[in-house]
Amino acid sequence: MHNQQNNALANESNELEEMASMIIPRTVNEVKALYEALVLEARKFKTGSVKLHDYPKDDNYIGVESEGVNSDSGSDQSKEKKRKKANSWTIDEHEKFLSGLEKYGKGDWRSISRLSVLTRTPNQVASHAQKYFLKQEQESAATTATAINNNNKRKA
């Protein structure tokens, strides 16, 4: 029995190393942590002890309504995708976004959405990140321009 457990752990370790090599730039420990979180979540789901997240629909979501099943008389207007009004990000969501960004890295919007900012879809997280980085660039450029301007005034 003990030998079987060691073999299972060795096989799992090899599989994790192989997965880590495919998920760049993740370390084996990061892949293992994500894998363990996924296994735990799957177990909770299987036993019914966890409720599925109620993710908000986004523009890329294709659901029953967009198929026309729930539409009224099949008019052209009911078949068009209806765009929801954008909801501003709360301070709490933004803080969770920053934490997820630090933990999972730039570009891993799916992990940030599923593991940090549960109220937003990966597309919404990506859009927020794009605006966040653009704002940071603009603020950095403005700070640099102000410093140069102040330096030029001192010389005059």
Q: What is the pLDDT of residue 83?
A: 73
Report the pLDDT averaged over residues 13-30: 72
Q: Tell me the pTM.
A: 0.43
Q: What is the pLDDT of residue 58?
A: 54
Higher-pLDDT residue of 38, 3 = 38
Q: What is the pLDDT of residue 46?
A: 76
Minimum mean pLDDT among 45-49, 62-66, 102-106, 108-112: which range?
Answer: 62-66
List where CATH 1.10.10.60 sits in the chain.
53-68+87-156
Superfamily of domain 53-68+87-156: Homeodomain-like (1.10.10.60)
Q: What is the pLDDT of residue 156?
A: 60
- DSSP 3-state of 98: helix
Predicted confidence (pLDDT) per residue in 25-77, tens digit: 667 787 788 888 888 877 877 777 766 666 555 555 444 443 344 444 454 55
Spell out the alpha helix ranges (H) of the chain. 2-22, 28-47, 76-79, 91-104, 109-115, 122-155
Question: Quick one: what percent of the chain has pLDDT higher than 70?
Answer: 60
Give residues with Cβ within 8 angstroms of 115, minimum separation 6: 37, 100, 103, 104
Q: What is the pLDDT of residue 97?
A: 94
What distance in Å separates the CA atoms of residue 55 and residue 63, rounded to the nearest whole number?
12
